[in-house]
Structure 1
Amino acid sequence: MSESPTAPVRYSAHRLATGFPGRSTTHVGMGWSSVYLVQAAGATVLVDTGPPAYVSLLKAGLAELGLRPGDVTHVLVTHLHWDHVCNFTMFDSAQVVVAEAELDWASRQPAGTLHVPDVHVEKLQRVRDQLLLVRDGEQPLPGISVLATPGHTPGHVAYQVPTTHGDLLFAGDAVKNRRELATGEAESTLDPDASRASILGLRDRLAGDPGSALVPGHDVRLGWRDGDVTILEPLDCDVVAYVGEHGAPVRRSLA
């Protein structure tokens, strides 16, 4: 009697932090990036880890799911910029998945290179037994595919994850926000032509699967329907500035 085919793995997906599609005109990027956790078949997986200020946010989000940092088994890194990789050090027991080309590029950058956290890159090189280096088309975990998306950085990758509500394309900064998905043009990229090709490739994947969605590096979940961007969830972002009378706090929504 033949064996029954193995059912495809589907991951549950939980948003721990929503990226913000904007930057300061006076203080450059704010680094508010997207962080998700996906779970299936004994794997508890973070996709990117956010900037240093996210430490308490990540701990709180994990706690809401009944988890601690030590429960995370894998960290998928889209690229080695500070606002996406810095908190991997919270997860000592996790395997860190990073593109071989990205680590090679980042390790050759001199200290002080814009956005590249040299201390964290050096730490990654010291914990080789914790690393899984991947290439385009490989599957670091069952069902999860690596997609080469160069441009923003030379070794940037996205991850296609089958979830219980359709495939999610974790684009990192290959697609930072709704504007880049809509126009096909990227800001803050080392190679505009490569970025354009990466954006169009991810857009084609969305168009070919109406049930899929894209998680940008700095925005809410997006879709691509009938040749245009669809916003799949509301943006929720408030700030408090101590600029009122006598330094009183003033709260503003940025949504």
Structure 2
Amino acid sequence: MKLSRRAFTQCFAATTGLVALPSFARSELSLGPATLTTVSDGRLVLPGQLIFEPMPRDALPPILAEFGLSPDRLTPECNLALFRDGTHTVLFDVGSGPDFMPTAGSVVDSLNALGLAPEDVTHVIFTHAHPDHIWGLLDDFDEPLFSEATYMMGRREWDYWWNPNTVNTIGEARAAFAVGAKRRMQMIEDSVVLFDDGDEVLPGISALFTPGHTPGHMGFEIRQGSESALVVGDAIGNHHVAFRKPNWESGSDQDGPLAVRSRTMLLDRLAAEQMTVVGFHLPDGGIGRVEAVDDGFRFVR
């Protein structure tokens, strides 16, 4: 589906008059001697059609009713995963910063609530380069906010947004995404560490290629002894239709069919292995488990 500029304009217009929500650590999980915490970057305010437009008109309303959702407006949380093992303090993505939506961009306040400053972060690992995941990279002086961190991104994701043709081929509605990503990536060009599918990017953290939402989207399996969790970014983008009807294409994905394959692979594995899932836009802090049910899957806190 080709999203219109109007749809994205409505997305921003919907936030008029809203202020950022309180910031705090939302959920925490122990993984052996390490901890995995989600910290809030606020939430987005999106027009429903951004996700629902390509979905079956007759089958969608019962799912919306089940979850108490409006077809017109969605307000997903933004939950950044924070991994600490005593040596590394790893932040997965950096949030929106101040320039995307007034309801998002509050990760620094959330880190402060944990007694952490940006310079305490040793590594930033990106799932992908959409605005709510990378636009928070720069501070007020256009310098990398997490000044002591090593920045890491999947090679395919980096190459896609770095390509000068992307801004012309991504579609008019997402052209600003490409410009914004490239500007921020230029600030870490000389120091970024690139990795590929299956690489152990840090001890106990392995990359898992989950394309579709973006061409190079990555998830990450975190394993400490017998305990593990899977940071899925936006490969599982919500707790409602993505779980109930994982085979439905979503308007938020750049490649709908490929995103379906990644999403179903993740849900099948998470349900079978009962591995903890950490989702950027999943509710109540984004940490939970996946349960297989007759009509698909269920997110369980």
Counting only pairs closer than 5 Å after superposition, residues 163-178 of structure 1 correspond to structure 2 as 166-178=227-239
Of 73-82 and 215-224, deviating more is 215-224
Gaps of 5+ in 1: 1-7, 234-255
Structure 1 pair 106–36 and aligned structure 2 pair: CA distance change class (3 A) = same
Task: Quote the Cα distance in structure 1 between the aligned partners of 2:216 and 2:125.
Answer: 14
Aligned residue for 2:167? 110
Aligned residue for 2:154? 99
Kindly indicate whether the alpha-carbon contact (under 8 Å) linking 1:79 and 1:156 is maintained by their aligned counterparts in 2: yes
Please state whether the residue corresponding to 1:127 is helix, strand or coil. coil
Aligned residue for 1:219? 282
Aligned residue for 1:136? 197
Aligned residue for 2:95? 50
Structure 1 pair 22–198 and aligned structure 2 pair: CA distance change class (3 A) = farther
Structure 1 pair 17–203 and aligned structure 2 pair: CA distance change class (3 A) = same
Aligned residue for 2:299? 231
Aligned residue for 1:79? 128
Structure 1 pair 29–155 and aligned structure 2 pair: CA distance change class (3 A) = farther
Question: How far apart are 1:127 and its partner, in Å?
Answer: 2.3
Please state whether the residue corresponding to 2:208 is helix, strand or coil. strand
Structure 1 pair 105–135 and aligned structure 2 pair: CA distance change class (3 A) = same
Question: How far apart are 1:158 and its partner, in Å?
Answer: 0.8
Structure 1 pair 176–25 and aligned structure 2 pair: CA distance change class (3 A) = closer
Task: Quote the Cα distance in structure 2 between the aligned partners of 1:22 and 1:169.
Answer: 26
Instruction: For residues 147-167 of structure 1, give each alpha carbon's deviation from its aligned partner in whole angstroms, at most 9, with x where no partner exists.
Output: 101111111111112369942
Task: Quote the Cα distance in structure 2 between the aligned partners of 1:30 and 1:224.
Answer: 21
Please state whether the residue corresponding to 2:221 is helix, strand or coil. strand
For residue 183 of structure 1, the aligned residue among 245, 248, 258 is 245
Question: How far apart are 1:39 and its partner, in Å?
Answer: 0.4
Q: Tell me which of the two structures has the higher relative contact order, counting C-alpha pairs closer than 8 angstroms and 6 or more residues apart.
A: 2
Q: Which amino acid aligns with 2:279?
A: P
Question: How far apart are 1:19 and its partner, in Å?
Answer: 7.4
Aligned residue for 2:3? none
Please state whether the residue corresponding to 2:201 is helix, strand or coil. coil
Q: Which amino acid aligns with 1:197?
A: R
Task: Quote the Cα distance in structure 2 between the aligned partners of 1:59 and 1:164.
Answer: 31
Q: Which amino acid aligns with 1:205?
A: R
Aligned residue for 1:61? 110
Structure 1 pair 143–59 and aligned structure 2 pair: CA distance change class (3 A) = same
Kindly indicate whether the alpha-carbon contact (under 8 Å) linking 2:131 and 2:180 is maintained by their aligned counterparts in 1: no
For residue 125 of structure 1, the aligned residue among 186, 195, 214 is 186
Kindly indicate whether the alpha-carbon contact (under 8 Å) linking 2:151 and 2:188 is maintained by their aligned counterparts in 1: no
Structure 1 pair 22–180 and aligned structure 2 pair: CA distance change class (3 A) = farther
Question: How far apart are 1:182 and its partner, in Å?
Answer: 2.8
CA RMSD between the two structures? 2.9
TM-score, length basis structure 1: 0.76
Structure 1 pair 155–113 and aligned structure 2 pair: CA distance change class (3 A) = farther
Please state whether the residue corresponding to 2:200 is helix, strand or coil. coil
Task: Quote the Cα distance in structure 2 between the aligned partners of 1:150 and 1:102.
Answer: 9
Question: How far apart are 1:44 and its partner, in Å?
Answer: 0.3
Kindly indicate whether the alpha-carbon contact (under 8 Å) linking 2:39 and 2:81 is maintained by their aligned counterparts in 1: yes
Q: Which amino acid aligns with 2:123?
A: H
Task: Quote the Cα distance in structure 2 between the aligned partners of 1:143 and 1:9.
Answer: 11
Task: Quote the Cα distance in structure 2 between the aligned partners of 1:85 and 1:76.
Answer: 10
State percent identity of aligned pairs: 27
Question: How far apart are 1:21 and its partner, in Å?
Answer: 8.7
Q: Which amino acid aligns with 2:278?
A: V
Task: Quote the Cα distance in structure 2 between the aligned partners of 1:106 and 1:201.
Answer: 25
Please state whether the residue corresponding to 1:200 is helix, strand or coil. helix
Instruction: For residues 105-126 of structure 1, give each alpha carbon's deviation from its aligned partner in whole angstroms, at most 9, with x where no partner exists.
Output: 1122227761625244233234
